[in-house]
Amino acid sequence: NKFMENFSEKIKEARKAKRLSRRELAEKSNVSEIAIYYIENGKTPSLRTLSRICEVLGFDITLTPKKQQ
């Protein structure tokens, strides 16, 4: 599915841009490292998991960068 490919790629790119390993992102977002791996490879996360990851990466739930306050 093209949407999930783009979604997964955005998550991976954002993680790398923040210079975080999968393990670091997992620890900061309270999500398992294997879940990060699966998400980056096309698995659809729950909204709770997505929300946690987006918070760490500085995105809102739509994967749009949050505006600086």
Percentage of the chain modeled with pLDDT above 70: 84
Say what the pLDDT of residue 6 is.
84
> Is the Cβ–Cβ distance between 49 and 31 less than 8 Å?
yes
Is 1's pLDDT higher than 70? no
> Do residues 45 and 53 touch, judged by C-beta distance below 8 A?
yes
pTM of the complete model: 0.82
More confident of the two residues 64 and 48: 48
Residue 53's closest CA among 1, 5, 8?
8
